[in-house]
Amino acid sequence: MTTGCLVVLGISLLLYLLASLFLQGRLWWGHASWEKWGQRSLMAGIVVHVIGIGLHSGISGQSPLSHMTSVISLVVVAFLVVGLLIELRTSVRNLTLFLAPIAFLGLLYPLLMPVRFEDAGSMLVRYPWLGVHVFITLLGHVGFALSFLGAAVHLLQRRALKRGRLNHYLPALDAASRVAFYSAGGGFFFFTIGLGMGAMWLFGAPGEYLGGTDTKIILAIPTWIGFALYLYARGVRSMHGSRLKWVIIVAFAVAVANYVLVPHRFTIEEDTSHAEGALGIQTTAVSSNVARNS
């Protein structure tokens, strides 16, 4: 990614930080006018962010899915847009107060640690289908993040009400619960498709890829099972208890740990011949037989 693109993304990061400060100021210190400034900063952040992604694609001539920072950027934008749509089109109030900090952290990570994504990025350039897999899986994470947000807000509101207090800024209990449920459903859909695509890519991947022992893949399983359990209990058994919200929180925590703490692991053999993957991807020479921890 060029310096210019990084600067533009950095500006949007600052705008998200500004939005987070204003909106958290609104939440904790009750400065009503800060909400307006927070929302303006957030909207400006989204616009600058989209420009940054477009700039990257324009300069490099590559799809936004060909670079990890760009992929994550797209995911952060998707998260914000879906969250804002939920707030605008439903009765869930003040969701914006919580969207901005998550967007800030989501974008901060790849910008702070670009090295972690370098090899992953080179893989994405070589295997476009891998990029689609990563993007769709991360879209699943957008749903999970919104679901986590709904669950966390539900528990905060529940705690306030149980203590006989009233918190005007938090969404109503059942609205937060609905956000958690529907977002989990959407996230689960994309996550499952993303995992399926990853498996198909693995099947056709060149050389020896240590998929079977990749911690990233292993840790995706409890996330999938956690959300599957939650959706079954809430959707099929119509259970509404607060404990179910903890299942979402734990499952999402595992997903975040997997994203942040577990490195990508590629072990690909020297191969100068052209190979045809299961998805019909033409692959060319890749690096020597080393385990790369990006």
Partner 1 sequence: MHLLTLGLNHKTAPVEVRERLAFAEGDQPDSLRRLREQYGLTEAAILSTCNRSEIYAASEEAHFEGVQAYLSEHHALDMGHIEPCLYRHTDADAATHLFRVASGIDSLVIGESQILKQVREALEMSQSTGSARLVINEVFQCALHVGKRARSETDIGRGRLSVATAAVELAGQIFDRLDDRRALLIGAGEMMELAAQYLVEAGLTQFTVANRTIERAQELASRFDGDAVSLDALEKSLTEADIVIASTAAPNFVITQQAVRAAMSGRRGRPLFLIDIAVPRDIDPAIRDVDNVFLFDMDNLESVVAANRSEREGEILRVQTIVDEELGDFLHWFNSLSAGPLIKALRQQAADLQGDELDRWQGKLSHLSDDDRQLVESILRGYANKLLHQPLVQIRDLANREDGYIRLDTVRRLFHLDESQDEKTS
Residue from 208, 240, 257, 278 touching partner 1 (CB under 8 A): that is 240
As a whole number of angstroms, the distance between CA 33 and CA 254 comes to 37
Tokens of 191: 């996550």
Q: How far is the CB of 39 from partner 1 (least distance, A)?
A: 13
Q: How far is the CB of 158 from partner 1 (least distance, A)?
A: 8
The DSSP line for 215-229 is HHHHHHHHHHHHHHH
Q: Nearest-CA neighbor of 278 among 206, 230, 229? A: 206
Name residues contacting partner 1, limited to 11-70 (CB under 8 A): 30, 32-33, 36
User: If binding is defined by CB under 8 A, does position 282 make contact with partner 1?
Assistant: no
Q: How far is the CB of 219 from partner 1 (least distance, A)?
A: 30
Q: Residue 265 belongs to what H/E stretch?
A: strand 265-267
Residue from 120, 175, 184, 220 touching partner 1 (CB under 8 A): that is 175
Residue from 3, 115, 236, 237 touching partner 1 (CB under 8 A): that is 237
Residue from 162, 261, 272, 288 touching partner 1 (CB under 8 A): that is 162
Q: How far is the CB of 180 from partner 1 (least distance, A)?
A: 14
As a whole number of angstroms, the distance between CA 140 and CA 25 comes to 30
Going by the DSSP 8-state scheme, the letter that residue 233 receives in this structure is: I
Residue from 61, 89, 115, 166 touching partner 1 (CB under 8 A): that is 166
Q: Which segment (47-55, 79-87, 164-172, 252-260) binds partner 1 by CB under 8 A?
A: 164-172
Helices (H), the chain: 3-29, 32-60, 68-89, 96-112, 118-126, 128-162, 173-204, 215-231, 243-261
Residue from 89, 165, 236, 272 touching partner 1 (CB under 8 A): that is 165
Instruction: Decide: residue 68, CB within 10 A, 0-12 exposed, 13-18 middle, 19+ buried.
Output: buried
Token look-up 């299961």 returns: 278
User: If binding is defined by CB under 8 A, does position 247 make contact with partner 1?
Assistant: no
Strand partners, 267: 291
Residue from 213, 241, 273, 291 touching partner 1 (CB under 8 A): that is 241
User: If binding is defined by CB under 8 A, does position 89 make contact with partner 1?
Assistant: no
As a whole number of angstroms, the distance between CA 264 and CA 99 comes to 27
**Beta carbon nearer to partner 1, 175 or 197:** 175
Which residues are near partner 1 by CB under 8 A?
30, 32-33, 36, 91-93, 157-158, 160-162, 164-168, 170-175, 237-243
